Amino acid sequence: WTRHPNGYYQPAIVAISKEGKILYRWRCVPRYSNLSGAGARPAADYVWQQIQAHIETSGDAILDEDPEMTSKDFPWPVFLMFLLAHGWFIKPRVFPLERGTGSKWRHPKKMIPRLIGFASAWIAAAAALPLHWFLMGAALWVVIATPGIIDIHRKFQHIR
């Protein structure tokens, strides 16, 4: 998924009148805050209002850098936890975009039961095991999971 030969396309919205006047423009700049471009998009009613407002003005619309979005994206650390849950907390695993191709597609929100189970297991281990066993287990998990977290963090686009 990160080895696309031609790079990545990021979404954009451009509304142009019949006369060639740009009525609205927005582009996605991949950052961790918008899940590297996989996050929310501008709300349709907001975009429509912007287009309507710009019809009567002169000149092209400027780039909309702070539109009203359809939803709020997860913070990057929370998204990383969802990727870890998808990889059963061993190595983060991305969510495939192969909808309709027969592969089993999972939505990040379907990882919530896994996250709850994972947290519950650690709480139970902390309560049941001697402290040094619990800490050794936690350290072992950190050693196992860290390379995958570093790898996925580097692969996701983030333009400053």
Alpha carbon distances (Å) from 139 to 33, 117, 126, 132, 143: 28, 19, 13, 10, 6
Which of the pair, 103 or 26, is modelled with greater confidence? 26
> pLDDT per residue over 26-55, tens digit each?
887 776 666 666 667 888 899 899 999 888
Tokens of 20: 């060639």
CA distance 94 to 10: 17
- 81 CB neighbour count, 10 Å cutoff: 21
Domain boundaries of the chain, sorted by first residue: 1-73, 75-160
Mean pLDDT of the chain: 82
**pTM, two decimal places:** 0.65
Query: Using CA atoms, how far apart are residues 37 and 31, in angstroms rounded to an integer?
Result: 7
Q: pLDDT band at residue 114, thresholds of 50, 70 and 90?
A: very high
Q: Does residue 123 register a pLDDT over 80?
A: yes
Helices (H), 1-130: 44-55, 76-86, 112-128
Under the banding of pLDDT at 50, 70 and 90, the label for residue 75 is confident
- DSSP H helix total and E strand total for the chain: 4, 2
Q: How high is the pLDDT of residue 99?
A: 54
Q: Does residue 144 have a pLDDT over 90?
A: yes
**Nearest 5 degrees, angle CA 28-CA 73-CA 93?**
90
Q: Which amino acid is at 58?
A: S
Q: Can you tell me the mean pLDDT for 74-86?
A: 86
Secondary structure element (H or E) that encloses residue 155, with its range? helix 131-155
Could you report the per-residue pLDDT of 2-24, keeping only the tens digit for each?
455 555 566 778 889 888 889 89
Q: Output 100 or 17, whichever has higher pLDDT.
A: 17
Distances (CA, A) of 126 to 63, 66, 114, 136, 145: 51, 44, 18, 11, 19
Query: Taking Cα atoms as reference points, which of 149, 158, 3 lies closest to residue 86?
Result: 149
